[in-house]
Structure 1
Amino acid sequence: MRRFVNVLFLALGACMPEQESTSTNERSPIEGTWQLLSAENITGEDTVFTDYTKGMKGIKMINQNYFAFFQHDLNKGTDSLNTKYGSGSGSYSYMDGHYIENLEYCTARQWEGNTFEFELTIKGDTLIQEGKERIEELGVDRIIRETYVKLK
């Protein structure tokens, strides 16, 4: 009887149409943990360059569906940088270099609920993110260019 049941299940399995897998094991090249090296903020004619390798550290983590970033100064808010701590997270979409962040959580609460569009370029272990940040209510209208290196 047991043998008959096993044969029956094998036969039924052979008759069932093959299903396509909805997920792939391939990871997007943007997935991973990235360390922020530098940022340029361009507002009108003014450009502010920040070197995140001196006195500060920034990390961006990207998985299949969400991104998160964390930034802080390395002196625990006790020096002239007074950057202390900032973070944010949310969902994103990415296709052919076009990256859209939906900022759902942020220590700067007035930034929450905004969407930002960027172009990403990956060269080896370096990711360059460039786009426009615009929040009318806050008077924010600038181009940002951030450079990251992938952490192993």
Structure 2
Amino acid sequence: MKTIFQFVILATIAISCVQKTEENSTKKTSLPIVGTWKLITGTTIEKGDTVVAYYNKNVSFVKIINDTHFAFLNHDLKKGKDYSVMYSSGGGTYSLSDSLYTEHLEYCSDREWEGNDFKFTIAIKDDTLIQTGVEKVESAGINRLNIEKYVRLKK
């Protein structure tokens, strides 16, 4: 009887160890791009003109990225009470292969941008993400190089 009891205990321990190992092996490792990112600067170059926008006191822009989707939110910080009134948002799916990050914009407050794919090269160092690529939206007459610098927001 004592031997059967010991066998049952050992079998229970062995099964629980196997279940934990299976649970751990099915967990997906998060990609380094996953998180919430605050845009610090945005540089656009179009037809020889360069515009640098600083996102600090007047405007806030965040990009939220999970394992399969992204979303961005952009608005003025004066609550619409001065000349800088603005709001935009969008989101969709993305793919990431090494440093090639491609967004498929499914939703956007500027509807002409919907349904377009945007290919970027990304570099992540510590808490900084730099995203560089061409934004082309023929229906809106847009064809520009876009360079964005983000910092990761802490939890």
TM-score (norm 1): 0.83
Match among 50, 64, 67 for residue 64 of structure 1: 67
Residue type at the aligned position of 2:34: E
What is the Cα-based RMSD across aligned positions, in Å?
2.4
Counterpart for residue 55 of structure 2: 52
| Percent pairwise identity | 47
Q: Tell me, in whole angstroms, the C-alpha distance in 1 between the residues paired with 2:80 and 2:120.
A: 30
SS in 2 for 1:110: helix
Q: Tell me, in whole angstroms, the C-alpha distance in 2 between the residues paired with 1:28 and 1:96.
A: 11
Q: Tell me, in whole angstroms, the C-alpha distance in 2 between the residues paired with 1:66 and 1:142.
A: 24
Match among 103, 112, 134 for residue 101 of structure 1: 103
Give CA-to-partner distance per residue, 1:78-125, whole Å, 9 cap, x none: 22222x210001000011110000000000011111100000011110
Matches within 5 A, 1:19-98: 21=25, 23-24=27-28, 26-82=29-85, 84-98=86-100
SS in 2 for 1:81: coil
Q: Tell me, in whole angstroms, the C-alpha distance in 2 between the residues paired with 1:68 and 1:122.
A: 18
Q: Which runs of 4+ in 1 moved over 4 A?
A: none
Match among 122, 136, 139 for residue 137 of structure 1: 139
**Where in structure 1 are there 5+ consecutive unaligned residues?**
14-18
Q: Tell me, in whole angstroms, the C-alpha distance in 1 between the residues paired with 2:93 and 2:60.
A: 23
TM-score (norm 2): 0.82
Counterpart for residue 16 of structure 1: none
Q: Tell me, in whole angstroms, the C-alpha distance in 1 between the residues paired with 2:76 and 2:26.
A: 42
1:127 maps to 2:129: yes
Q: Tell me, in whole angstroms, the C-alpha distance in 2 between the residues paired with 1:112 and 1:23.
A: 33
Deviation, 1:23, is: 4.7
